Amino acid sequence: MGIEDYGGGQPPQADVLVVTTNDIPGHQVTQVIGEVFGLTVRSRHIGSQIGAGLKSLVGGELKGLTKTLVETRNQALERLVEQARARGANAVLMTRFDVSEAADVGTEICAYGTAAVVSRS
C-alpha cells in the first residue's frame, strides 16, 4: 500500500477550507451558516471479510480494511464539503468524524462541522 492508500485530506488549494479548530489563523469569520455533515455507510465484500478473519489469527494490520476505512472517511469528507459549498460556505470549522457500526452490515462514517464564510484579515 502506498501513502495514497492510507492517507487523506484536502488538496492545498481547496475552495472550501476544512479545519478541526474553532478559528483559522489569519482569517476572520464573517458569517456562520450552521452545521453541515457528510455521511456514508460501506460494507465489505465477503472476500475481504474472510481475509480479515484469517489475518486476525496471526495478527498484524488488516490492510484491506484500512484501505476501505480511508476511502469511506474521504467520501464522508467530500460530502461534507459539497454540503458546505452548496450552502455558500468557504470553510468548515470544528470538523469531527464519528464512526459506528451500521446494523452489523457495514461501517458508518459521519463527518460534521460548522459551515462558515471566512475572509483573510
pLDDT digit string (tens) for the chain, length 121 residues? 566 666 777 887 889 999 999 999 999 999 999 999 999 998 765 555 555 555 566 667 777 777 888 888 999 999 999 999 999 999 999 999 999 887 777 788 999 999 999 999 8
Which residue from 60, 75, 76, 62 is spatially nearest to 111, judged by alpha carbons?
76
- Number of domains making up the chain: 1
Of 70, 79, 84, 71, nearest to 17 (Cα)? 84
State residue 111's pLDDT score.
97
User: What pLDDT is attached to residue 67?
Assistant: 81
Look at residue 107 in the predicted model and tell me its pLDDT. 84
pTM reported for the whole predicted model: 0.81
Distance of CA 106 to the CA centre of its chain: 16
Q: Cα 2 to chain center, whole Å?
A: 19
77 by DSSP, 3-state: which? helix
CATH number where 29 lies = 3.30.110.70
Query: What's the confidence (pLDDT) of residue 56?
Result: 62
* Residue 51 belongs to domain spanning: 3-120
Identify which of 33, 36, 19, 18 has the alpha carbon closest to the alpha carbon of residue 117: 33
Instruction: State how far Cα 38 lies from the chain centre.
Output: 8
Give me 79's grid cell: 460530502
Q: Looking at residue 54, what is its pLDDT?
A: 55
pLDDT at 2: 64
Whether the Cβ atoms of residue 113 and residue 94 lie closer than 8 Å to each other: yes
